[in-house]
Structure 1
Amino acid sequence: MEFLWEMAQTWGEHFRRDLFRYLIAATAVSLLVSWVFRQWMDSRRIQRRRASWKDIRREIHFSMLTLGVFATIGIITSILGDWGLLRIYRQWSDYPLWWNLISLPVLIVLHDTYFYWTHRAMHHPALFKHFHRVHHLSRTPTPWAAYSFSVGEASLMGIFSPLILALIPLHLTVWLIFIFVMIFRNAMLHAGCEFHPRSWVDGPLDIMTTTTHHDLHHQRFHGNYGFYFTWWDRWMGTEFKNYKQAFCQAVDGNFSDPHTRKRSIASNLNCG
């Protein structure tokens, strides 16, 4: 009984930490969209349709389920750490300076690769209903959809943590920064309004995704699978051909419509 009580306390601690990060990110992005920059964000809305309170309640409900799955995986991760199977470290001097500097970018690139291929796999007809259907109930997503997963998808997303911590050495601070970057980026991609500046798709930053990039995925399902970067979609031919046009429409105040094309896809591929 004492062991079970300790496990329950550990589970609760993991749940509270993940809940805190989820609430901070989703609340912050929601406030930016609906209050702080409301007029500007309304002019950059990607879809004409707006999410209802029913949609938001569903997203929060499934996000709580996801946090429960993450907490369970957190217990497993803690046990693996106690057994010495994870490569997380607390002293910067344990590894060279160059690794401490590049480990966060390396981690983000690895997570993006993991996300692209697992995300694309979940769209296979044999897997979609069991893994990814819940997330796509958010046809017009909000920041609260960041963790709106089924148990299967939550498990697939959650096991990245113990897998990567067992494979590469990471300082605890780097890992914590990565977790916050991941949830804030997730909330931004589901914001429904385009945060990124007009010049984003015309320069070197075009290798990074935008809110429009991911919003189109929610509208059309098959394509734009990337999380942080656009390169996997471009290498694999899964990026929507009129993505840049839709981005320009959003920053110019024109709603994106997946069923009609008011402009030629061949034209206006940048925002210049």
Structure 2
Amino acid sequence: MSDTSLGTETDRWNHHPGRVALNPLFSWPPRPMAVLRWYAAYWLVVSTTTLAVALAFAFYWLLLPPLAEMQTWAPGWMLHVWLANLIPHCTLAGVLHLWLYRWRAQEKRFKFDPRDPATDNGSFTFRNQVHDNMFWTIASGITLWTVAQWLVFWAMANGWAPVIHPRENPVWFVAMFPVLVVWSSFHFYWVHRLLHVPVVYKRAHALHHRNVNVGPWSGISMHPLEHLLFYTNFAIHLVLPSSPIHVLFHGYMQSVHPIFSHSGFEQLYVADAKRAKMGDFFHQLHHRYFECNYGTVEMPWDRWFGSFHDGSEEATRETRARKTQMYT
């Protein structure tokens, strides 16, 4: 990529929402109303966070067997856990892809990058970006996500992981949901930094970064080594008391959420109106410039550790300089 300013490159973007906004909880001086608005936008409206909560409760009742059945390895309950992951992920990614890219229902409104998914491109498995992403998402991502949950459920069922019931400890049951968001953000940042170490990047993470122009199936399209590292964050359930509902929520949050954050569009546009926020400009910048924004907007890890890109031309120059230092 030529060393042009973000402003010049932005001219080739259909939509650019301006500067990145981080969680105001960590700003100084304190901004209590901004903090309330921030968390209300995640927990009190339709969002990927509340969608993950709803999916966790729904599939807990619809498909998940009692923990007692998980004390021994058996195809029945293991298949149910796999289906609880496969069905919502493929349904959401598939429908969103059809809406945005096959039916072009909102054309290019709110699309960050005007290009379509790549076809006849040897960089991708099957020479097709969407087919590549679907293969790695299902064959590796959903498989290893499910294996991690099998291990946690088995440990819970055998008394080797602490389990809580919402009726017995309702306060901690509710608190565990935001705790998992913070934990996942922390874990993701440091695993992501590791994945950008050149030797690990070339061996594993480069597969995900084929997707400069991301789409709904790009979210967890990764190399198996990256999935193994990514899903080690389920280990928190071996330490902190949680319930099977939390384990399901944790999986949906970190695996279904990327469907929308990698959609390539900032907004879902239906019936000539904005209906929901989808894309994540913060992470879109990471896919464009690589060596920045390793974490999430929920926590200021990138600001604290010097890898934050706010969408400005100055941040673009700093990111490119850092990338040159790392790869030369």
Fold shared, TM-score > 0.5 on shorter chain = yes
The aligned counterpart of 2:25 is: none
What is the count of residue pairs matched by the alignment? 230
Q: Quote how far apart the aligned CAs of 1:35 are.
A: 7.6
Task: State the shift of 1:32 in Å.
Answer: 5.1
- Following the alignment from structure 1 to structure 2, what is the Cα–Cα distance between the partners of residues 10 and 31? 31
Task: Give the alignment of 1:41-120 within 5 angstroms.
Answer: 42-52=108-118, 54-64=128-138, 65-89=140-164, 91-95=165-169, 97-120=170-193
Please say if 1:22 is aligned against 2:89.
yes
- Check the 8 A contact 2:161/2:237 in 1, yes or no: yes
Kindly provide the CA deviation profile for residues 29-49 of structure 1, in whole angstroms up to 9, marking residues without a partner as x: 33553489833x612111132
The SS at the match of 2:267 is coil
Corresponding residue SS for 1:159:
helix
Q: Which residue of 1 aligns with 2:236?
A: 164
CA RMSD of aligned residues (A): 3.2
Q: Is 2:181 aligned against 1:181? A: no
State the 1:187 CA deviation: 1.0
CA contact (8 A) 1:10 1:75 kept: no
TM-score when scaled to structure 1? Answer: 0.73
Contact 1:25 1:183 in 2 (8 A): no
CA distance in 1, matches of 2:206, 2:77: 30
Report deviation, 1:189.
1.1
C-alpha deviation, 1:80, in angstroms? 1.9
Is the 2:293–2:302 contact (alpha carbons within 8 Å) kept by the matching residues of 1? yes
Superposition deviation, residue 238 in structure 1 = 0.9
Rate the CA distance shift 1:107–1:230 in 2: closer, same or farther, 3 A.
Answer: closer
Residue 219 of structure 1 corresponds to: 288
For 2:75 and 2:314, locate their aligned partners in 1 and report how far apart those are by CA, in whole Å: 50
Residues 282 and 297 of structure 2 are in contact (CA less than 8 Å); yes or no, is this contact kept in structure 1? no
Q: Distance in 1 between matches of 2:151 and 2:281?
A: 36
- Match in the other structure for 2:22: none
Opposite residue 235 of structure 1, the aligned amino acid is W
Q: Is residue 124 of structure 1 aligned with residue 197 of structure 2?
A: yes
1:133-144 equivalent positions in 2, closer than 5 A? 133-144=206-217
What is the distance in 2 between the residues matched to 1:174 and 1:81?
Answer: 12
- Tell whether the 8 Å contact from 1:194 to 1:211 is kept in structure 2 after alignment: yes
**SS state of the match for residue 161, structure 2?**
coil
The unaligned stretches of length 5 or more in structure 1 are: 198-208, 247-259, 262-272
Please tell me whether the aligned partners of residues 182 and 299 of structure 2 are also in contact (alpha carbons under 8 angstroms): no
Cα–Cα, structure 1 residues 115 and 77, in superposed 2: closer, same or farther, change >3 Å?
same
SS of corresponding position for 2:114: coil
Query: Tell me, which stretches of 5 or more residues in structure 2 are unaligned?
Result: 1-71, 120-127, 270-277, 318-328
TM-score, normalising length: structure 2: 0.61
Measured after TM superposition, the shift of residue 20 of structure 1 is 1.3
Residue identity matched to 1:164: I
Write out per-residue CA displacement over residues 113-141 of structure 1, whole angstroms, 9 at most, x where no aligned residue.
10111111110112112231111111111
Q: CA deviation at 1:6?
A: 5.3
Equivalent position SS for 1:88: coil
Structure 2: how far apart are the matches of 1:15 and 1:231? 33
Between 1:9-18 and 1:163-172, the stretch displaced more is 9-18
Amino acid at match of 2:243: H
